[in-house]
């Protein structure tokens, strides 16, 4: 393995010629931590750490990342919320493109199509239909204005009570979810690398303690896949095409 680039202890303005290899080393570090923490692989963590023992700055970053990930958790509710937010955003865009309508109209049509919510109910909630995040928060638990205040089985049952929603959700799961997971995590990795380079340039590695949008561990990604599949009711797990095929054989 090529040795990581040598970063000066006082790294004011990392030379441009060093930025690209530094980004490469940081990405390798992050992905290694994500995998080893996932497997609780102390041997792997120690082995990777040896690559940075001659570089105080990178060693400090590595140790902080390991500690930060060990202290971070993603509970089932967090993961389900993440899944449903991705689904709602995707389906809302689908409705908007299909009907060639504005954001506000697409939001209303989505609510009608999947959840049979009347316009007045949404309006009374104070949600701005043109505010995508606000509309999503209306359905999501844990928000003061949310229609669903807690993550429980009745909330999940309500969301998946629509056959149309289940069908579109299954398509999302089969054809789009994995791509979204990887793209979203790659964006988070890039942002973390950008942040770390700034920390190095400003000689302020301790600022990493306040960075909260960590890329997801491999373990969290797998939990997301498992929970996303488990959310779909058994009766809806068979696609419409498969149902027609089965019915035709009867």
> ∠126-130-136 over CA atoms, to 5°?
70
Residue 113: per-residue pLDDT: 84
Average pLDDT over residues 124-128: 77
Q: What is the pTM of this model?
A: 0.79
Quickly state the pLDDT bin for 109 (edges 50, 70, 90): confident
Residue 145: per-residue pLDDT: 53
Instruction: Bin 58: left if φ > 0, else alpha if -120 < ψ < 50, else beta.
Output: alpha
Q: How many Cβ atoms sit within 10 Å of the Cβ of residue 114? A: 22
Query: Residue 153: pLDDT above 80?
Result: no
Quickly state the pLDDT bin for 161 (edges 50, 70, 90): confident
Q: Which residue has the higher pLDDT, 66 or 89?
A: 66
Question: Judging by beta carbons within 10 Å of its beta carbon (0-12, 13-18, 19+), is residue 40 exposed, middle or buried?
Answer: exposed
């Amino acid at each position: 393995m090529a040795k990581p680039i040598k970063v000066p202890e006082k790294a004011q303005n990392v030379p441009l010629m060093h930025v690209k290899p530094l980004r490469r080393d940081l990405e390798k570090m992050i992905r290694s931590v994500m995998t080893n923490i996932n497997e609780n692989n102390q041997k792997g963590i120690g082995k990777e750490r040896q690559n940075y023992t001659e570089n105080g700055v990178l060693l400090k970053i590595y140790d902080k990342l390991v500690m930060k990930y060990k202290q971070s958790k993603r509970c089932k509710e967090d993961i389900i919320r993440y899944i449903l937010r991705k689904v709602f955003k995707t389906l809302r865009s689908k409705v908007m493109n299909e009907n060639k309508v504005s954001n506000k109209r697409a939001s209303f049509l989505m609510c009608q199509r999947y959840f049979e919510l009347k316009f007045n109910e949404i309006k009374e909630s104070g949600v701005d239909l043109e505010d995508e995040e606000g509309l999503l928060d209306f359905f999501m638990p844990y928000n003061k204005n949310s229609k669903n205040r807690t993550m429980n089985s009745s909330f999940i049952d309500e969301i998946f009570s629509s056959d149309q929603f289940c069908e579109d959700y299954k398509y999302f799961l089969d054809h789009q979810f994995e791509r979204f997971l990887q793209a979203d995590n790659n964006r988070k990795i890039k942002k973390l690398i950008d942040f770390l380079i700034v920390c190095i340039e400003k000689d302020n590695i301790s600022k990493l303690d306040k960075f909260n949008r960590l890329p997801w561990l491999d373990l969290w990604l797998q939990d997301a896949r498992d929970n996303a599949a488990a959310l779909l009711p058994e009766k809806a797990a068979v696609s419409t095409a498969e149902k027609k095929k089965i019915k035709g054989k009867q």
